[in-house]
Structure 1
Amino acid sequence: MRYLLALIAAVILGVALYRGIDISRTPDREMTAASQALTVPPANASSAVNATPLEATHPVVPEMLPPPALPISNAPFSLREKTSPGLLIPVQGKVASDLADTFTDARSEGRLHDAIDIMASAGTPVLAVSDGHVEKLFYSERGGLTIYQFDPQRKYAYYYAHLQGYVAGLAEKQPLKRGQMIGYVGSTGNASPDAPHLHFAIFVLGAERRWWEGTAINPYPLLASSGG
């Protein structure tokens, strides 16, 4: 009987101890609660500083591609784009329909003409094709009495040859205006006396800006499109 009472007392004590344990404080539950505390905002969330997402502080920069290549123009060189207004036909009274393209005509010693001839009566006034200045007054065996005019930017030289004479008072470094009379049609140099004309050429000047050096370009399309 004594042993039975002791066994009953032990069972009762074990049940009491089992019910007194707080299973909410187990290690697993404590870890879960701790992790929730890190993710759940505080009660005064309105006063808490909002966290900035990582993407906002370190934005993803898109790959920078080079700009598309500009197309290379294969259009022919055009002085018309460089001059405003356009070039004037340099012989008084002449219009576009009076002109002929003789730029590539053959000349003596295997040369090309590199100019155009504007036929006119001897003594017809010769006019400056654009603004600029007289760079050089010169006499040569082939060109006879000549004028070299530079444009205002000193990029182009305009060459007038076979002149009968200069207008009175013309001088080197003298400023010129488009349409100003500068000389007279003639046949000096190697031109035929039976065919007086103005030999007119345009040269793209080199870096040295020498009146006797340059690259010839065809004046015909520039003058023919100017309308006179």
Structure 2
Amino acid sequence: MRLSRRQLATAAATAAALLAAPGWAMAQAGIEQSGAALLAARTLQFPVDGVKPEAVRDTFDDGRPGHRHEALDIMAPRGTPVRAVDDGQLVKLFDSKPGGLTVYQFDPTSRLAYYYAHLDRYAEGLREGMLLRRGDLIGYVGTTGNAAPDAPHLHFAVFLLGPEKQWWKGEALNPYSALRAVR
């Protein structure tokens, strides 16, 4: 992989700042590293039926109006089943303007939050507080929220949770490698 001069300069400046910064900056860098390691240690199920992991493009760093995407868009026909990637508790069903019909699920340790968005509808009987098993049906691919009506997809994100375990907050982790490793 070849980096641009700007990317090299940014990386060098970041590294220098971390080395010169107070301990909290180093601790934050360690948190991000531990989040990636925690995600890599999970054995995930691919969330969308019929889509091969190698067909997914890494859209995590893609730009969106005013922010970085911080998720993967997994394209599939409307109504394609969406499955829980891991065991854990369903902590929130939410209908938001940007994400449409969404599901927030914690991993078994409550350190990671899995976010599924733009669902067409939820699976029958889905409710907050229930325990999900890896592979359970949670909903169906759609275009709710700010998704283009002609581009049904699952917007899938993973967050490292802070000590407060707030489902709507966390450090975004790129799930691309973890999902590509699914067999």
TM-score (norm 1): 0.64
Consecutive unaligned residues of structure 2, counting only runs of 5 or more, are 1-29
Question: Greater strand percent: which structure?
Answer: 2
Shift of 1:82: 3.2
Q: Residue type matched to 1:182 in 2?
A: I
Of the three residues 102, 105, 123, the one matched with 1:149 is: 105
- Corresponding residue for 2:57? 100
Instruction: Return the alpha-carbon distance in structure 1 between the equivalents of residues 112 and 70 of structure 2.
Output: 15
Q: How does 1:56-205 map to 2 (within 5 A)?
A: 77-83=36-42, 86-109=43-66, 111-205=67-161
Shift of 1:97: 1.5
Q: Residue type matched to 2:44 in 1?
A: L
Larger-Rg structure: 1
Instruction: Return the alpha-carbon distance in structure 2 between the equivalents of residues 149 and 130 of structure 1.
Output: 9
The number of aligned residues is 151
Q: Secondary structure at the match of 2:129?
A: coil
Shift of 1:81: 4.4
**Kept after mapping to 2: 8 A contact 1:130/1:151:** yes
Q: Deviations over 1:134-169 (max 9, x none)?
A: 100001110000000011110000000000000011
Q: What fraction of aligned residue pairs are identical, expressed as a percent?
A: 54
Q: Which has the higher contact order (CA 8 A, sep 6+)?
A: 2
Q: Residue type matched to 2:92 in 1?
A: K
CA RMSD of aligned residues (A): 1.5
| Greater alpha carbon shift after TM alignment, 91-100 vs 123-132 | 91-100
TM-score (norm 2): 0.79
Instruction: Return the alpha-carbon distance in structure 1 between the equivalents of residues 170 and 135 of structure 2.
Output: 24
Of the three residues 160, 163, 166, the one matched with 1:210 is: 166
